[in-house]
Amino acid sequence: MSVSTRRPIVRTFALFAGASLAAVACGGSTPPPKTEEPAYEEPVRKAPSGGPMIEQELGSIDQRAVERKFEALQSKLEVCHTRGRDRVEYLAGDVKVFLRVGKDGKVRYSWFEESTLGDRETEKCILDLFSATEWPKPQGGEAEVRNGFGWPGGSERAPTSWGPEKVIGALDDDKDAKKAVERCKSGVTGDFNVTAYVEPGEVEGEQGAGQGNGNGNGNGPGKGGKNPGKGGKNGANATKSGAEHGGRFKAIGVAPPGKEAADKVDCIVDALKSVPLPSPGSYAAKVTFAL
């Protein structure tokens, strides 16, 4: 029963009570009529604006306040990127982040829905920053926040673009790494989208004579000697051409397929780190592939 219904009942009771007193004064014995007690009602919770607030899984959040919060975090995001570039000088790419914000304004969980940044350490720096931030408090339930941003390449030479088949083929050849990836993916529906940088393998320096003197002394210790000593006893075999060792991952970043897979990202990165790769040549390459 609403509040507006209670008042007439109270007024009606007052009128009947007055009639009863008059009857008693006149010597009558008619008892006053019984009135029903108003039914108990659960109080309605009020929102700060004064209107009713309905509890639900997803509430509403002030979008302008969220935008202002992202703007305030720009300088700290730059710190994450700068630290990443100290390790990976050509670090660049775009991300789209998902945040689940609780009613207390704290991030309950987060992950990258998309990322072409290619460095897990930088991605973790960004997520840790968002988790430590006080966000606007949602009304009526928790809120989902999504935002995209990124960094373009700098003045340095951009990495060569690789097709995914170069990594997938190498992973298929590495049975142990492939099994480790499958263990990481166990129970997960959907693909992990991986972006990584591959750097050239090391090249052995040419070994042999530094300067053959033509007098049987063509086996000096100098590295990189290109002209073995003529007439030297060992001069003809003094130089060994360099051998390329292939490529390896410089840095790896991952966008999981959803919340349930977000805690498996580090497992995926660890499983991929040691996979032997083809060499990208004289400079680094960047590749995106799905697992």
CA distance 146 to 101: 11
Judge whether 55 lies within some domain.
Answer: no
Cβ pair 201, 245 in contact under 8 A:
yes
Judge whether 282 lies within some domain.
Answer: yes
The reply to whether 189 and 248 lie within a common domain is: yes
Judge whether 166 lies within some domain.
Answer: yes
Residue 216 has a pLDDT of: 44
Residue 212 has a pLDDT of: 43
Judge whether 268 lies within some domain.
Answer: yes
Judge whether 53 lies within some domain.
Answer: no
Cβ pair 126, 255 in contact under 8 A:
no
Cβ pair 290, 238 in contact under 8 A:
no
Residue 131 has a pLDDT of: 96
Three-class SS state of 20: helix
The reply to whether 198 and 263 lie within a common domain is: yes
Q: How many CA atoms lie within 13 A of 60 on its CB side?
A: 6
Residue 202 has a pLDDT of: 65
CA distance 167 to 250: 13
The reply to whether 96 and 138 lie within a common domain is: yes
The reply to whether 164 and 271 lie within a common domain is: yes
Q: In what order do the strands lie in the sheet with 285-290?
A: 160-161, 285-290, 193-200, 247-255
Cβ pair 231, 214 in contact under 8 A:
yes
Domain count, the chain: 4
Three-class SS state of 249: strand
Domain that holds residue 104: 63-151
Q: Which amino acid is at 9?
A: I
Computed on alpha carbons and rounded to an integer, the radius of gyration of the chain in Å comes to 37
Judge whether 9 lies within some domain.
Answer: yes
Cβ pair 147, 70 in contact under 8 A:
yes
Q: Residue for token digits 């083809």?
A: 278
The reply to whether 280 and 227 lie within a common domain is: no
Residue 193 has a pLDDT of: 98
| Ordered DSSP codes for 124-156 | HHHHHHHHTS-PPPPBSSBEEEEEEEEE---SS
Judge whether 54 lies within some domain.
Answer: no
DSSP letter at 158 equals P
| Ordered DSSP codes for 233-248 | SSGGGS-B---B--EE
- The CB density around residue 234, as the number of other CB atoms within 10 Å, is 16
Task: Tell if the pTM clears 0.85, that is, is over it.
Answer: no
CA distance 235 to 226: 11
Residue 245 has a pLDDT of: 62
The reply to whether 188 and 252 lie within a common domain is: yes
The reply to whether 198 and 216 lie within a common domain is: no
Q: Taking the chain (291 residues) in consecutive chunks of 10 residues, what is each chunk's mean pLDDT?
A: 38 33 40 48 43 60 95 97 96 97 96 97 97 96 95 94 96 96 95 96 49 44 42 37 68 96 96 95 96 96
CA distance 175 to 38: 75
Judge whether 146 lies within some domain.
Answer: yes
The reply to whether 198 and 146 lie within a common domain is: no
Residue 183 has a pLDDT of: 97
The reply to whether 174 and 286 lie within a common domain is: yes
